[in-house]
Copies of this chain bind each other. A is one copy, B any other.
């Protein structure tokens, strides 16, 4: 077993014990609500994570890029929802992925133009696709409003297409990321559920069958009190959790499975900084958690052997390949230098696991404090097929 001291840094560490606990808890939540769990794999982009996130249930997953669709199809995940509004120029690549792997990719639409372009492209290719209509339940990103006239005309446009089949409706309460605490998130979860179900009922009321009513974000999946009328949920970041979810009250620091291993490459006594070789590319410049908690900088710093944050330390500044750790008080700089000697290693807990993990091509798998590297798991990155 490789020790952490032997790895070259920056390296992405994933605690498999925490990952499995997070996956099991979400599977139990879905079971309790009587809905399917279709984990969003944009966070992990890894087949090994996907196997744990789908253990004991359907194997259906959600993806956010053509690259992820191809990667997961090649790894045996054949029921894929591509949960970003479709550009018809991606249809040929998705059809190739389906044929090469016996997979089915369900598309997302929220405009007549997208339905027509996707339908025409599918017809040219002799392909057919299931589609979901995106519903905007308050996030203000993709989707038609649950009460909009556009919903019915969109559904009828799908029905008119020879190459598309309407599978149902999908919503993502992205605005649940901008509130804190159970009460506020529960209200958004209920609006998400009610909006999606209302849209489905309006379609059913005019004789349009709706099989799928899909909701989901990690905060709403954790906090929802009822998922009455919903058929599936699509949380993603719960697999790894991060400081952002901690700051919102969704999980504890001990639930964070992902961290970045970095090496102390210098001390600067003039600026009172410890330099590490994990910078803006290795950690990401995301500071989502700062909306609700101060003192986090670009991530919390732990000793390499564990994930308990060192009091008063954070990554205060990022350059492309340098991270600069600062302490709160001036008098603590010498203590910080002693605690983190040049050549030693630290783990950084990230604000937003999806952004931090994305550019890496592998996870180094550990289990618990003091663990060495038990396995190396590959992952997808980038956007396009065959890349």
Binding site for B on A (CB under 8 A): 6-10, 42, 64-66, 84-90, 93, 110-111, 113-114, 117, 134, 136, 140-143, 145, 174, 263, 265-268, 270-271, 273, 275, 277, 280-282, 284-286, 319-322, 324, 341-343, 354-355, 358-362, 381-384, 387
Contact = CB atoms under 8 A, between A and B. Distances in A.
B322 A141 contact: yes
A286 B286 CA distance: 8
A140 B382 contact: no
Q: How many copies does the complex hold?
A: 2
B319 A174 contact: yes
A157 to B, nearest CB: 13
B361 A359 contact: no
A49 to B, nearest CB: 16
Nearest to A278: B383
Given A140-B270, A140-B271, 19 more contacts: A6-B89, A8-B87, A8-B384, A9-B87, A84-B322, A85-B266, A113-B341, A114-B343, A136-B271, A140-B273, A140-B324, A141-B268, A142-B322, A174-B319, A280-B355, A285-B355, A320-B358, A358-B359, A359-B382
Contacts of A145: 270
A343 B142 contact: no
B342 A268 contact: no
B343 A117 contact: yes
Contacts of A387: 361-362
